[in-house]
Amino acid sequence: MFPKPRPANLITVPACDTHHSNARARDNELFRFQLAIHIGAQQSPSARAVWPSIIRSLARREAAGWQQTVFGTLGKRPVRTPAGLYIGNFPSYELSIPRLHAEAEWIIRGLYFAHRRTPVPADREVHVFAGEIVRRMRADVRQSFAPLIAFVQAVPAIVIGNRAFRYYFRTLPEDASCCLVALIFYEAFSFFGWVMPETEADVCGVQDG
């Protein structure tokens, strides 16, 4: 996610062998690829700086499976302005939402440890939604997110890298083991999530997928 030289305030937390596996590395690479080539990410110096390494990873001979993952979803689709005006067909790719959600969940778990100095408790659930998913929800469901997002973004953002990543982390006043988190990558792609007991996590009347 971060070009060299790495940010001085990069957050590191302990991780088990499972999260250093080849499968996890592939998911990390997909996460970086889909976020860095997002149409809005072109304004981020950090996103542009990782493009060469993304191209190199696709050019490797042994990357046939990775190439299929990437190119298998590429195509063109009609694009319209927010007002509905058609502006042409543009290159597009299919977001791997379940895998993006899984990566964002592990980031939230890592931030939880960094802030709370303890892993997410076993009796707490991590729920996460990509901003793209929230925007496609029914208006009444989407509006239910508004006060939650306003609550977490009332605290100062923690910025890592040159427009690469910023996040908001806020624990609940009544229970510090619960929190709301907002993640923004390359100033273009966002995730919103929370850590709460299962009975309280369904605060928006929806379930993550």
- In the chain, where the domains are located: 17-92, 97-201
Alpha helix ranges (H) inside 60-138? 64-71, 97-116, 131-136
Query: Where is pLDDT greater, at 70 or 178?
Result: 178
Calculate what percentage of the chain has a pLDDT beyond 90: 49
CB-hemisphere CA count at 13 Å for 142? 10
- Residue 9 pLDDT greater than 90, yes or no: yes
- Residue 124 pLDDT greater than 90, yes or no: yes
Cα distances (Å, whole numbers) of residue 185 to 88, 89, 145, 160, 197: 26, 25, 19, 10, 27
Q: What is the pLDDT of residue 110?
A: 95
* Residues 22-48 pLDDT 10s: 667 788 888 998 899 887 888 899 999
For 164, counting Cβ atoms within 10 Å of its Cβ (0-12 exposed, 13-18 middle, 19+ buried), the class is: buried
Q: Where are the beta strands (DSSP E) in the chain?
A: 75-80, 86-92, 125-130, 158-160, 165-172, 175-185, 189-196
Average pLDDT over residues 84-106: 87
Q: Which residues contact 52 (CB under 8 A, 6 or more apart)?
A: none
Residue position matching structure tokens 């997909």: 30
Residue 207 backbone zone (phi > 0: left; psi -120 to 50: alpha; other: beta): beta
Q: Which residues contact 142 (CB under 8 A, 6 or more apart)?
A: 134, 135
Q: Look at 7-11, 64-68, 181-185 and tell me which has the smallest mean pLDDT.
A: 64-68
d(CA 182, CA 166): 8
d(CA 54, CA 5): 17
Q: What is the pLDDT of residue 21?
A: 65
Q: Model-level pTM?
A: 0.85
